[in-house]
Amino acid sequence: MSRLNKKFHQLTAEDKKAFIPFIMAGFPNIKYSSNLLHKLPGLGADIIEIGMPFTDPMADGKIIQDAGHEALEAGFKMENLYQMIESFRKIDQDTPIILMGYYNPIHKFGSEIFVKKVKSLGVDGLIIVDLPPEEDSELCIFCLNHKLHFIRLLTPTSDNQRLPTLLDNSSGFLYYVSVAGVTGSKVPVKQVVADEISRIKKYTDLPICVGFGIKSPEDAKSISLSADGVVVGSAIIETVQKGASEREVSDFISSLSKSVHSN
């Protein structure tokens, strides 16, 4: 059983939902993001999603775009991400790590080489925003061959006709984008999300985690009532951008995890 499957199995047994915080590698600098990564399990993170900075992040709103650009301007290189994960895995062998990003840097590196590299470091899955199922031969198949989860994004426009194609080769969990738009742009409507999750679950047994637009512990709690997990990214990044102290950032993340786990 993979680390990710084991985590969802454990949470189900405990009647809990997954709290999945998103951080941007290298934001606001390498040291800060590495220190925050190490803190996350103690703050209640069940799974950790790490963004890979990219120059043209089309699915991201201004908050995460700015974080990625700031990381790149501060000198971020992929080697820094590898070192972050390697350091984390020396002290934590249990918390799943998901990388989220875009295909261009992976293509330049070499898809199979990249998959082997991150798998060897202890990465558990990839979310690649700009690769549809029609392009599975570019990356997804390498992930399957090397037992790295390939996690699909589903959106409000993923109708029943499209779902079987999206579910093919998906594993780990499904990431449901709760609003039509970029990250951090709107607040999801609880009942609409619940109805969509119910619809999708008729087609799959995979856990469904919801992200985009979840801004507060109250939002996180309401979405967790119907989802198997809750992803919070922009709200965490924005807290850092506004100059919050490391203690304030930690307290905010902890409040999110408590809300998700309180059902």
Distance between CA atoms of residues 225 and 241, nearest Å: 29
Q: List, in order, residues 6 or more apart from 177 with CB less than 8 Å away.
A: 153, 154, 155, 156, 211, 212
Residue with tokens 């700031």: 70
**Catalytically active residues, by annotation:** 49, 60
CB atoms within 10 A of CB 221: 20
Distance between CA atoms of residues 86 and 7, nearest Å: 20
Tokens for 132?
């549809």
What DSSP element (H or E) covers 166? helix 163-167
